[in-house]
Structure 1
Amino acid sequence: MPFVSNRGQRIHYTVEGSGPLVVLQHGLLMDANSWRDSGFVGTLADRFTVACIDSLGHGFSDKPSDPELYGQQQRAGDVVAVIDALGHKRAHLLGYSMGGWMAVAVAKHHPERLSTLVIGGWDPVNGLPAGPKGPVTFDPFMILAKRAAPALTRWVTPEVKPGVRACFDALRELDGAYDAITAASFPVLLWQGQGDTGHDRMQAFAAANGFPFLSSAGDHIAAVLRPDTEATKRIYSFFESGGAPSSADH
């Protein structure tokens, strides 16, 4: 079971396949195995070395309670530490939801380490969508998550909950995200499920800034855990072509 140590924390990751490196960074409450269960690893591993990282606070990675350890720049460093451990100068990076926030952090603080970037299920400029009563906070979020996806919340015991809360609260850190994405020297693909509350907003953002946009079936959870075949093929092609435009880009 491979781990890398960064800033005093152990970060767990899995590796399959061979070839250019693809790093997959999961969303809040998910883990590295989510990418295998959803079929992403199987699709990508015939062409790429696929590394799936357990975010700090999740999976087999350390789960400290100190909120200071969950900042965006530090979390970007965790991703880069895995890239280093695997001996690669650059990686294709796909981050979904919280993983998309982390992927933006890599683009912001370590742009030279990216070959291409896919941001899924995350608004890099505005962050978390607001609820009917304003900004969503952690406790109401967990109540909704337990109702919508109970399998994703069963592992959140009182012992690890402070780290999960710190992950959630850190998502408010958005400074510099717009510039990091719009000024990127590497290709960027934006991806949202059609049932995700942020779909139309992100589609408009992509169009306004000249980014290709992947609109796939499913809501925020289903789009990544039960992806349609076209979505995984499109991401595979984006990585394989180094982000060259395809006829599906719009």
Structure 2
Amino acid sequence: MDLNPPPFSHFTHEGLDIAFFDEGDPSGAPILLVHGFASSANVNWVFPGWLKTLGDAGYRVIAFDNRGHGKSSKPYDPALYHPQQMAGDAVALLGHLGIAEAHVMGYSMGARISAFLALAHPDRVRSLVFGGLGMGMVTGVGDWDPIADALVAPSLDVVTHARGRMFRAFADQTKSDRQALAACISTSRDLLTAEDMGRIDAPTLIGVGTTDDIAGSPQELADLMPNACALDIPGRDHMLAVGDRVFKKAVLEFLEEVGRA
């Protein structure tokens, strides 16, 4: 299995076209991958080697482009981007594929979506991996209004906000629809409460880069959950932790352990 984009299929949910791939061993344990803000299934999961890593380990690897991203529909209405609705796309995809239960792994915004999925449909989640988002899932991840402004600015040259520049450059690099992303970022950051996290009892691994200034503490989030453990990804920031070898090794070991339980 290589690092080239696989063929995508499509299905419709709530009137939106959702693009996805279904790769790896069709008889293997399914794992559903949920990408982060301004990213896509290819950018988060194919190019950093996750599809290859998980496919070579014998998993059935499923990933989709969140609404507003990649090859999926890109509405401009912020009311359509709450994480509960985006989690609904993920559950609908499992239903479309006839999968009753899957491991679920999300990065950054995808981790938040995965948490909302686990809360609403605990019977569909075998285990969880949260990457790039720790205690920020509960306490918030700072002021993101400047990022929305940066996304709709006429060019990167006029953006002075450091985090805004980072995400604008990333959106330009991925050739994203910046108006759809600006709508998404305004409503996709709904917080979960400490009590919410305490109700998620699926085995959970929380991996955050040690230089990530967005995610918040993975250990603090794990402490709120009945069956979670934290992983520090050494020397990695929010953008670089996703494909880290330490992270991949820990995820494979975690999934193997869950599979034996």
User: Deviations along 1:206-246, whole A, 9 cap, x unmatched?
Assistant: 2465621111131000001x41x22101112212221779x
Indicate the SS of the match to 1:56.
Answer: coil
Task: Supply the distance in 1 between the matched residues of 2:87 and 2:100 (Cα, whole angstroms).
Answer: 15
Deviation at 1:116, TM superposition (A): 0.3
Give the Cα separation in 2 of the matches to 1:66 and 1:223: 31
- Please name the residue that 1:7 is paired with: 14
Q: Secondary structure at the match of 1:236?
A: helix
DSSP 3-state at the match of 1:14: strand
Gaps of 5+ in 2: 1-7, 152-158
3-state SS of paired residue (1:242): helix
Distance in 2 (alpha carbons) for counterparts of 1:200 and 1:105: 18
Q: Which portions of structure 1, spanning 4 or more consecutive aligned residues, are displaced by more than 2 angstroms?
A: 138-157, 176-181, 198-211
Contact 2:200-2:225 within 8 A present in 1 as well: no
Q: Which residue in the other structure is 2:166 paired with?
A: 148
Q: Indicate the residue corresponding to 2:37 in structure 1.
A: 28
Cα 1:155–1:74 shift into 2, 3 Å: same
Structure 1 residues 115-126: aligned runs within 5 Å = 115-122=126-133, 123-126=136-139
Q: Aligned equivalents of 2:114 and 2:225: distance in 1?
A: 18
The alignment status of 1:173 with 2:190, answered yes or no, reads yes
Q: Deviations over 1:181-213 (max 9, x none)?
A: 222231111110111025663323324656211
Q: TM-score, normalised by structure 1?
A: 0.85
Residue number in structure 2 paired with 1:163: 180
**Following superposition of structure 1 onto structure 2, how do residues 58-137 of structure 1 map, counting pairs within 5 Å?**
58-122=69-133, 123-128=136-141, 130=142, 135-137=143-145
Task: Report which stretch shifted further, 59-68 or 181-190.
Answer: 181-190
The question of 1:194 aligning with 2:194 is answered: no
What is the CA–CA distance in structure 2 between the aligned matches of 1:155 and 1:67, rounded to whole Å?
21
CA 1:75/1:208 → structure 2, altered by over 3 Å: closer, same or farther?
Answer: closer
Q: SS of the residue aligned with 1:100?
A: helix
Tell me, yes or no, if the aligned pair for 1:104 and 1:177 is still in contact at 8 Å. Answer: no
Residue identity (%): 31
Determine the C-alpha separation between the residues in 1 that align with 2:225 and 2:119. Answer: 17
SS of equivalent to 2:190: coil
Check if 1:37 corresponds to 2:47. yes
- The DSSP-based 3-state class of the residue aligned with 1:219 is coil
Deviation (angstroms), 1:139: 3.3
Q: Over aligned residue pairs, what C-alpha RMSD do you find?
A: 2.3
Structure 1: how far apart are the matches of 2:36 and 2:21? 16
Query: How many pairs does the alignment contain?
Result: 235
d(CA) in 2 for partners of 1:200 and 1:64? 30
Aligned with 1:45: secondary structure? helix
For 2:233, the equivalent position in structure 1 comes to 216
CA distance in 1, matches of 2:180, 2:239: 21
Stretch moving more, 148-157 or 179-188? 148-157
Pick closer, same or farther for the CA change 1:177–1:36 going to 2, 3 Å: farther
State whether residues 11 and 54 of structure 1, in contact with CA within 8 Å, keep that contact through their aligned partners in structure 2.
yes
SS in 2 for 1:164: helix
Report the TM-score, using the length of structure 2 for normalisation: 0.81
C-alpha distance 171-178 of structure 1, shift in aligned 2 (>3 A)? farther
Change (3 A) 1:170 1:232: same
Separation (CA, whole Å) in 1 of partners of 2:164 and 2:173: 8
Q: After TM superposition, give the deviation of residue 156 of structure 1 in Å.
A: 5.3
